[in-house]
Chains A and B, each alone.
Chain A
Amino acid sequence: MENILSIKNLSVSLSGKRGIVPILHNISLEVEAGHILGIVGESGSGKSMTAFAITQLLPGGRKSIVDGSISFCGQDLTKKTETEMTKFRGKEIAMIFQEPMTCLNPVFTIGRQMKDVIMTHQKKNAREATKQAEKMLEQVHIRDAGRVLKCYPYELSGGMRQRVMIAIALSCSPKLLIADEPTTALDVTIQAQIIFLIKEACKATGTGVIFISHDLGVVSQLCDTIAVMYSGQIVEVGSAADVLTHPHHPYTKALLASIPSFTTREDGDDKLSAIPGMVPDPLEHIPGCRFAPRCSYAMDICHNQVPPPQICANGHSLHCHLQREGEN
């Protein structure tokens, strides 16, 4: 299938009080139509920044992108002007954020906010827009859509608000949906419903989805492909089943091992294997692999040389010296 989005060698730096801070290093990603790409990693690994780079919402604007290209349906988004980008955002590329309360305007009704989006991007009058808004709410399984349209955001529960956000995002049938930790603030039962909705929408309309999360469990249930990010780099990409059952990169392995499962501690008290230390400051200059200081398998070469990308079986790719050593 064709790629809706392909990011090639993207590097992003932000300039702030502390000088120029490199945020993303040489990122390449692809999203196919009707597929869900999961991006996982700890906080500070650059997951959200990747999303902002795609939508051109980086704090420093377009000049933050140092290198690389973001090609969306054949058009390079890095070369678009701000006015051209507004036609993409909300219509072609939609985004759902973590905290639905802060994303909805508290002083307008849900109906008004949904109509805003629909009427900005489609040639529809108010009545048609209301009708479509109602249809969208029904699509995300909200029973009494007519009543919800008249509600203000505070009258809805967290799960309902997130459904409204999804309805808004899908209302202009986008080609790409970016969901930035949409379930982190929700209960497990509600989370399962939201995962189901995103899955359903993606399969039904052929929308490509980028799902950002730090929860490997969620990602494993939803995504077709998984990209693991660490400190502004993608360390491993592959099909979800592959990455989770046969992780190659020590970071992916460590992340998987740190999740407590129902079976740990069954007999006595085996400790959880935590990853020592924390994600390095983006300003910190690390000549080799950025994970090397925390890696339990780190070798001399890891501290000195950036590992080149390498392709394993099934299109699984990773950046790690260890794997190369093992092959030689």
Chain B
Amino acid sequence: MEPLLEIRELKKTFKIKNFFGATTEVQALKGISLAINKGESLGIVGESGCGKSTLANLIIRLDEPTDGAIILDGQDISHIKEKELRRLRSRIQIVFQDPYSSLSPRMTVEQILTEPMCVAGTKTFTEMRQKAVELLELVGMRSSNLTRYPHEFSGGQRQRLSIARALTTEPEILILDEPTSALDVSVQAQVLNILTSLQKKMDLTYLFISHNLAVVKYISNRTAVMYRGKVMEIGPSKNILMSPAHPYTKKLLEAVPIVGKPFHQPDTEDASVNEEDILDGCGYYYRCPFAEKKCLGKLPGFIEKANDHLVSCWKV
């Protein structure tokens, strides 16, 4: 089956100018390849700074990739122009992490929900209003909320509004960039339930970004583990989280605190200091307990551990 969204060797380099005008380059993504099928949800996990959000921004084209291709339904969208972007964005929508800063405080719920439809320009005013009411009900909120402002809502309700707003243009792909990490567990459960039921109802495709492995497992069929701008391991969520193959995935899983699991003493070194960037080899080299000389050389590429479960590590 042809994947709905395919990413080929995507690279993004940011140029950072310092006070004196000298530029340094930061490679946020060092060649990422992913494919998402229709109706599937792909989870992306990794620590902060691994390039998760950069990837999201590139897919929705808030930023332009340095190299590589993003292919939606057979069309390369990695360098398309402003005009086509508008059409594109009604097909791909995004929900951000912070529900407090991603809704305009000066707009009512109705304005927030109808604005994307105005931009798309395909509906009359009454249709838009009706759609807004429908969407509110979909995310479990009353239509009487249309005249209220974002500050009147709690974090969980705002995140539901963000989801409703993302759905206004009837997108095929929804990018969820840590949608629950600012929420309490009880509210997180509400939002996760809404997301799973919406996916079934509307046949949505999710790209779910999070650093919470249990949440990713709950939402997504497949999971990709990222580290320093590269995918370390990708496969069915069950495989990745129950029988991880990459040393980094194992370490991430060990660190997750779970009720009833005894505390696993971590190594106390902070690896983010004094670590130079590795261009060719495995980015995890400096922290990996199994690191060998050959890890600094060219990466082995993806090795198939089990059906669909790919790992980029010499150890497998």
A95 interfacial by beta-carbon distance below 8 Å: no
Is B258's CB under 8 angstroms from A159's CB?
Answer: no
Residues of B within 8 A of A187 (CB): 47-48, 211
B34 interfacial by beta-carbon distance below 8 Å: no
Is A260's CB under 8 angstroms from B214's CB?
Answer: yes
B257 interfacial by beta-carbon distance below 8 Å: yes
Is B270's CB under 8 angstroms from A214's CB?
Answer: no
A-B contact count (CB 8 A): 137
Residues of A within 8 A of B212 (CB): 188
Is A217's CB under 8 angstroms from B193's CB?
Answer: no
Is A188's CB under 8 angstroms from B255's CB?
Answer: yes
Task: Using A262-B241, A274-B187 as known contacts, say yes or no to A191 and B257 having CB atoms under 8 A apart.
Answer: yes
State the CA gap A221–B260 with chains docked (Å). 8
Of B185, B254, B263, the contact of A259 (CB 8 Å cutoff)? B185
Nearest-Cβ distance from residue B128 to partner chain A, whole angstroms: 29
Is B259's CB under 8 angstroms from A191's CB?
Answer: no
Of A190, A195, A265, the contact of B217 (CB 8 Å cutoff)? A265
Nearest-Cβ distance from residue A284 to partner chain B, whole angstroms: 14
Is A258's CB under 8 angstroms from B188's CB?
Answer: yes
State the CA gap A273–B186 with chains docked (Å). 8
Nearest-Cβ distance from residue B201 to partner chain A, whole angstroms: 13
Nearest-Cβ distance from residue B315 to partner chain A, whole angstroms: 19
B242 interfacial by beta-carbon distance below 8 Å: yes
Is B255's CB under 8 angstroms from A192's CB?
Answer: yes
Is B186's CB under 8 angstroms from A260's CB?
Answer: no
With CB as the reference atom, state the residue of chain A lying closest to B192.
A272
Nearest-Cβ distance from residue A46 to partner chain B, whole angstroms: 14
B215 interfacial by beta-carbon distance below 8 Å: yes
Residues of B within 8 A of A275 (CB): 186, 189-190
Nearest-Cβ distance from residue A293 to partner chain B, whole angstroms: 14
A99 interfacial by beta-carbon distance below 8 Å: no
Nearest-Cβ distance from residue B306 to partner chain A, whole angstroms: 17
Is B259's CB under 8 angstroms from A244's CB?
Answer: yes
B residues with a Cβ closer than 8 A to A are 47-48, 154-156, 184-190, 192-193, 196, 211-215, 217-218, 238, 241-242, 251-252, 254-266, 268-270, 272-273
- Kindly list the 9 A-B residue pairs having the minimum CB-CB distance in the complex, ordered from nearest: A217-B257, A274-B189, A141-B268, A258-B189, A274-B190, A272-B189, A275-B186, A260-B218, A192-B255
Beyond the given pairs A196-B265, A245-B260, 8 more chain A to chain B contacts, judged by CB atoms under 8 angstroms and listed by A's residue number, are A43-B184, A157-B273, A160-B270, A188-B47, A188-B211, A192-B257, A259-B189, A271-B196
